[in-house]
Structure 1
Amino acid sequence: MPLRYVDPNKTHGPVYRASVRFGRSRPGQFVGRRIQPRVDRVWSRLTRGRGMSFVRSAPLVTTGAKSGLRRRVQLAYFHDGRTAIVMASNYGGERQPQWYHNLKANPDCELAGEPFRATQVVDPDEYQRLFGLAVQVYAGWGDYRDRANRQFPIFRLEPR
């Protein structure tokens, strides 16, 4: 399944806005954390990459930092030019998601079956710009930041 382009500046319709409102609610957060990750992998294959969520997602394949094994996780993303952007928000939790450690140790990865090389965004101005774009894609990332005790790492995935 090819990686679909996600424009963060796209105007969203009423169905998308309603989906985001639900996703930011308490029941929506429960579904997003507990149910969706288990269903999204299969649903993504059946729908050719659309995923279950209203935010575009794709399978990110990394190499385990300790095990060296391939690890797969369904992950929301968007584009900045020709590069894909992913954020290690972990639903606003205190810990980094496991894939963050994998990308730090082994930056070569795949997103939707396409090869990429990950670099973490460290420039503060670039970070703020990309975080602003992320919130345009899904306002819930702003909610996560407000309740978390950490800055979410942002990775730029450059095509290889």
Structure 2
Amino acid sequence: MQFDAPFLSDFMELEQDWIDYNGHLNMAYYSVLFDRGVDQIWERLGFGAGYREKRGFTTFSAEFHICYLREVHLGSRVRASFQLLDHDEKRFHFYQELIHEDGWISATGEGLGLHIDMSGPKVAPMPEDILQNMRALAKAHADLPVPDRVGRPMGIPKKPT
């Protein structure tokens, strides 16, 4: 299976209900856009909508960090990138960007996902065919540089006294 490096979703339009009283995209909907952008590559990997019903597995987010870089407003169209940074049989570490149709980056996200057996639910190894797809994605993304925003700590820097 061949994968783009990085993967780019189709363009997505902001919805009126997502705009807050400041006139820009409410912070909660950045997560929605990142998640919707992943849906397309999830289908290619085999994690799509039918995965849970057919095989009894799914994916859950364990952690996700967003950096808001530039506001987007109603009428904007964005696409989500997806770069696989690392994975094992149960987990995957990834990086995403929300890219405005004019080419600038609105937000970045870094996440840790888990493969879940819904009979528990519990973290469980991926079936071999899915793991092969993850390996193919990892190979496609192996030569991409690690983005500067990966692994950033959050906190208030202390000034020297």
Query: Is the TM-score greater than 0.5?
Result: no
TM-score relative to the length of structure 1: 0.30
Larger radius of gyration: 2
